[in-house]
Chain A
């Protein structure tokens, strides 16, 4: 295939955009491992800033991970059922619910944080615990998990699968746990990676809601850029990148899922045989 002029022009443009996004990151990483930023790389490469960051901020890194994992658990438990309900019902009520659940994306993070502080700030134990921040994160990331799962549930493949299961006589809960959940695995994984990535990097909501004891990584990052040497802030960014890059790579790999047709039918067959084994043909519920 002959590469046309247009191809190279577009390639050049794309490369320019990529460098716009990546060059500052590289500069930041370099600043984090340089002895003295003002003098530049000639002053030597060192890991002492990274070590100092670890000394000062290890607990923020840990807390961010804890919150991200908890956020994931919550969005799974809350979001998957919600997506299923929305895929089954098309009426006005369902659309209103969907609107409500995606509203946190439209309301600025500051407003959500302010609202939570005003309403629940009085409960001191709740206010000073990390669960307070978790609530904000869940509200913000839930729509992403929901959307991701809903996208898979809305495909034609899926509908026929479910109808197949129903025609075999599987009950509601059976269908939900044995067909629905395993088959939207790709949507769950994509959503999960999105949720964790967004939670680790969340700043707007967390900045307002945090207390000195519940600082997350982005909050600590803002702190360090403000009051520490630039090298420390940059080193902190390096640590952040080390945490986030595996997640982003995974997001990219799993982001375009295409489960094979054969695997879908495996699930259906298993269901058929287990229904037959248990003997009763439960009426469709």
Chain B
């Protein structure tokens, strides 16, 4: 049956392959070529390592994305497993609230961070009331961090809840009946079982954070995440070659991380929603 089906499958696959070839592969190839044919030539690619400004930006972006991923996973694990396991009045409302920001563009999130932590933000008012000193962190790395966590939680928590649904209660029962404390049950039974979901959703969260632009654009002060640097290169006299080179490097790094995640988690990454 398989051999006979092949021609039909090819026909089905043709449209999407054509579109991807024309509008994705071809432009990316051109981008790679353009990156290497600017004023600096191929050294535009190594400029990421050799120019301190770019290297620092890359480092900052990676560290920020990693930190955001870890914190988001932690928060989502606690809240996600809890919501999946328990039924109580208002549960659905809470779930909606947590997945709600999925659609928000980065700009809106940036301005909400300003509303929370800007000069006239809620947190500033509260801390002034409590301690007399206004806490303003919207325009620093902390503000960016908060914004990134904000849009990462909805993406991650859905996957974790779906995986939590599939956990086998029998295993936990067994562990408990053997005398394990709740903490040990969590550490040794639940967390390992959720590992594939953690890796899958964590990889997506990391990739999204690395490429995020809107939030940094709105909060933009001296924050130097790589997408902002790319944007600045493009608008600073259309230094397209450098912008292209930086984009490619960013894409490669993100792709590598996703690949590592996939090999760690096996094929579950593919089908996970």
Q: Is the CB of A81 within 8 A of B270?
A: no
A179 close to B (CB within 8 Å): no
Interface residue ranges of A187-228 to B (CB < 8 Å): 190, 197-198, 200-204, 207-208, 218, 221-222, 225
Q: From A236, which residue of chain B is reached at the shortest CB distance?
A: B108
- Among the listed A31, A98, A142, A221, which residue makes an inter-chain contact with B105, where contact means beta carbons less than 8 Å apart? A221
Interface 9-mer from B40-48, B50-58, B109-117: B109-117
List the 8 shortest-distance A-B pairs measured between CB atoms, nearest first: A108-B211, A111-B247, A115-B27, A24-B112, A81-B12, A218-B105, A203-B105, A201-B103
A73 close to B (CB within 8 Å): no
Q: How far is the CA of A190 from the CA of B158 in the complex (A)?
A: 13
Collect the chain B residues with CB atoms within 8 Å of residue A218's CB.
105, 107-108, 214
B141 close to A (CB within 8 Å): no
Collect the chain B residues with CB atoms within 8 Å of residue A81's CB.
12-13, 15-16
Q: Is the CB of B20 within 8 A of A100?
A: yes
Q: Is the CB of B1 within 8 A of A166?
A: yes
- Among the listed B15, B19, B101, B218, which residue makes an inter-chain contact with A225, where contact means beta carbons less than 8 Å apart? B218
Question: Chain B 119-132, CB within 8 Å of chain A: the 1/0 string?
Answer: 00010000000000
How big is chain B's contact interface, by range?
35 or more
Collect the chain A residues with CB atoms within 8 Å of residue B234's CB.
114, 208
Collect the chain B residues with CB atoms within 8 Å of residue A139's CB.
20, 23-24
Q: From A154, which residue of chain B is reached at the shortest CB distance?
A: B271
How big is chain A's contact interface, by range?
35 or more
Interface 9-mer from A6-14, A43-51, A53-61, A267-275: A6-14
Collect the chain B residues with CB atoms within 8 Å of residue A248's CB.
96, 99-100, 102-103
Q: Is the CB of B214 within 8 A of A207?
A: yes
Question: Chain A 4-36, CB within 8 Å of chain B: the 1/0 string?
Answer: 001100110111011011111101100100000
Q: Is the CB of B1 within 8 A of A284?
A: yes
Q: A28-B111, A108-B250, A237-B108 are in contact. Are A21 and B8 (CB under 8 A)?
A: no
* A-B contacts besides A6-B182, A108-B251, 14 pairs, CB < 8 Å: A13-B79, A14-B83, A21-B153, A22-B100, A24-B116, A25-B112, A147-B273, A166-B1, A173-B8, A197-B102, A201-B102, A203-B105, A222-B218, A285-B8
Interface residue ranges of A222-262 to B (CB < 8 Å): 222, 225, 233-234, 237, 240, 244-245, 247-249, 251-252, 255-256
Q: A21-B98, A107-B211, A207-B213 are in contact. Are A101 and B16 (CB under 8 A)?
A: yes
Greatest chain B CB density within 10 A among A135, A147, A172 is at: A172
Q: How far is the CA of A87 from the CA of B239 in the complex (A)?
A: 43
Interface set of A (CB-CB < 8 Å, partner B): 6-7, 10-11, 13-15, 17-18, 20-25, 27-28, 31, 77-79, 81-82, 84-85, 88-89, 97-98, 100-101, 103-112, 114-116, 118-120, 135, 138-139, 142, 147-148, 150-151, 154, 166, 172-173, 176, 190, 197-198, 200-204, 207-208, 218, 221-222, 225, 233-234, 237, 240, 244-245, 247-249, 251-252, 255-256, 284-285
A interface secondary structure, majority = helix
B191 close to A (CB within 8 Å): no
B197 close to A (CB within 8 Å): no
B interface secondary structure, majority = helix
Collect the chain B residues with CB atoms within 8 Å of residue A148's CB.
273
- Among the listed B9, B211, B255, B272, which residue makes an inter-chain contact with A109, where contact means beta carbons less than 8 Å apart? B211
Q: How far is the CA of A85 from the CA of B7 in the complex (A)?
A: 11
Q: Is the CB of B182 within 8 A of A225?
A: no
Q: Is the CB of B105 within 8 A of A82?
A: no
